[in-house]
Amino acid sequence: MNASETPVEDLGYEQARDELVDVVRVLEQGGLDLDASLALWERGEKLAKRCEFHLDGARRRIETALQGDAPDEPGQDSE
């Protein structure tokens, strides 16, 4: 798996997600020895955390944008 040579910290959301899908597929197929399975599982955990990092950042950006559009008091227009 060539993509696994890239440090997880350098991956964007789509790259991390796609590689995570591949990791899950390989693990589900089986056939790997224990050490290879554990190494792949560890990579998958890191990829999942990286995806969560990107999603959390996107969520914060959306919340910030929505707060900028919201009035200060419920039911009142912002001035």
Domain ranges of the chain: 8-69
Q: Enter the pTM of the model.
A: 0.78
Q: Which helix (H) or strand (E) holds 34?
A: helix 34-69
Q: Given pLDDT bands bounded at 50, 70 and 90, which one contains residue 79?
A: very low
CATH architecture of 8-69: Orthogonal Bundle (1.10)
What is the tens place of the pLDDT at every residue in 8-30? 999 999 999 999 999 999 999 99
Question: How far, in Å, CA of 33 to CA of 19, rounded?
Answer: 20
Q: Is 69 a residue whose pLDDT tops 90?
A: no
**Which has the minimum average pLDDT: 3-12, 48-57, 68-77?**
68-77
Q: What is the pLDDT of residue 68?
A: 86
Q: What is the pLDDT of residue 75?
A: 59
